[in-house]
A and B are shown apart, each in its own frame.
Chain A
Amino acid sequence: MPITITLNGEPFSLDHAATIAELLLTLQIDARRVAVEHNFVVLKRDRYADTAIGEGDQIEIVNFVGGGIG
C-alpha cells in the first residue's frame, strides 16, 4: 500500500512501506555522505536497515555543503 511521508519538508509518496536504507537506495543517495533524522531523532547509520518508515513520518536527509560563518 502506498504511503505518504514528509521528506525534507515536502510531501513524498512511497509505493509501499520501506526502511530508511531502502529509501536512500531509491533516491540514489550514498548513505556515507548524509545524516538522517526520523521523526526528529537522528539515526545512527547502522540503524538505517531496520528502521521502518510509516505513514506521515517526518524525514530529513542532510549533507555537507559549502559554508563558513552565518
Chain B
Amino acid sequence: MDTLFIAGREFTSRLLIGTGKYPSHQIMQAAHDASGAEVVTVAVRRVNISDRSKESLLDYIDSRKYFLLPNTAACYTADEAIRTARLGREVGLSHWVKLEVIGDEKTLFPDNEALLEATRVLVKEGFVVLPYTNDDPVMCRKLEDAGAAAVMPLGAPIGSGLGIQNPNNIRIIKEQARVPVIVDAGVGTASDATFAMELGADAVLMNTAVALAQDPVSMARAMRLGVEAGRLAFLSGRIPRKAYASASSPLEGTIAASPARV
C-alpha cells in the first residue's frame, strides 16, 4: 500500500487539513470526515479570560481519529515561534509542530532566516519540525539539513487560491529531497491539489480552499479525490508531451481505403 511516512509515523491519507475559517464547528467536522485527512492543523492562541462561554475547538475533533498538528501561525520572530511551539506541545502533548515564521504581513511569505534558526533550536529540543517555506529548492535543502522532518513549500500565497505558481521549483524540490515534500498553501480547487501531487509532492496541506468554499463538505471530498487522482497519476508515469497528434485507432482497415463505389 502507498502510504506516507513522516518522521517514522505512517499516514494513509496524503491530504492534511486546517481547522480555521469554517462557517461552524459542525461544518468543519463534516468536512474533515469527507476529506479523509488524518492530520489536522490547529493554531495556538491566548485563552479568552473574560469570556469563557465559547465552545472548545477540541470538542469537534476526535483525537483518536485525527492527529493534531499545532502551528506557529502569526509568529514573526524565531523567538515567538519557538515559544509557541513549546506551548503547543504542552496543550497537545505531541512534539510535532508545523513551524511558521512569517516575514511579511501582506504576502505572508516566510522569513526564511528566522525559520531556519527556529528549526535548528526546535530540532535540538526533540521536536518533529515541519517548516512552511518558499518554493525555493535551496531553502528546502537547508531546512532538511537542519533536521526538518518534512519540507512544506508554498504553492502560492496563503489563502490566495492561485494554485501552484512555480511547478518547476516544486518538481526540483521533490527530486532533491530526502524527506517528504508537502505543498502547503495556495490551493484553490481540486485540480490544484491534483497538479501538486502529479508534480511528485508527497502530500498537500490546505485550509481556506475547503473552509471558504460554498459547500465545504463537498469541496473536502473533491480535494480528497483530487489528491488521490494526482498521486495515482504520478505513480502511473504519464506519457511524454508531444507537439503533434498520434492516433489511438488502427490505421489499417478503414473503409476509406476500400475502392470507391460505382
- Which A residues have a C-beta under 8 Å from some C-beta of B? 7-10, 12, 27-29, 33-37, 40, 42-45, 60-70
Asked if residues B49 and A67 are in contact (CB atoms below 8 Å), the reply is: no
B19 within 8 A of A: yes
Asked if residues A45 and B90 are in contact (CB atoms below 8 Å), the reply is: yes
B116 within 8 A of A: no
Given that A28-B52, A60-B87 are contacting pairs, would A68 and B19 also be in contact in the complex, using a CB cutoff of 8 Å? Answer: yes
Given that A10-B49, A37-B87, A65-B57 are contacting pairs, would A70 and B100 also be in contact in the complex, using a CB cutoff of 8 Å? Answer: yes
CB-based nearest A residue for B40? A68
Return chain A residues, CB-CB under 8 Å to B159.
69-70
Asked if residues B20 and A67 are in contact (CB atoms below 8 Å), the reply is: yes
Indicate with 1 or 0, residue by residue over B169-201, a CB within 8 angstroms of chain A CB atoms. Answer: 000000000000000110000000000000000
Within 8 A of A (CB), among B199-222: 205-208, 211
A43 to B207, CA, bound (A): 31
Instruction: For residue A64, give the distance in angstroms from its CB to the closest CB of chain B.
Output: 4
CB-based nearest A residue for B44? A62
B112 within 8 A of A: no
Interface residues of B, dominant DSSP: mixed
CB-based nearest B residue for A45? B90
B239 within 8 A of A: no
Return chain A residues, CB-CB under 8 Å to B42.
64-67
A23 to B46, CA, bound (A): 15
Binds A, one of B7-15, B67-75, B224-232, B249-257: B67-75
Given that A12-B49, A60-B46 are contacting pairs, would A67 and B19 also be in contact in the complex, using a CB cutoff of 8 Å? Answer: yes
Asked if residues B90 and A69 are in contact (CB atoms below 8 Å), the reply is: no
B96 within 8 A of A: no
A61 to B44, CA, bound (A): 10
Given that A37-B87, A63-B91, A64-B57 are contacting pairs, would A69 and B71 also be in contact in the complex, using a CB cutoff of 8 Å? Answer: yes
Return chain A residues, CB-CB under 8 Å to B243.
none
Indicate with 1 or 0, residue by residue over B9-35, a CB within 8 angstroms of chain A CB atoms. Answer: 000000001111110000010000000
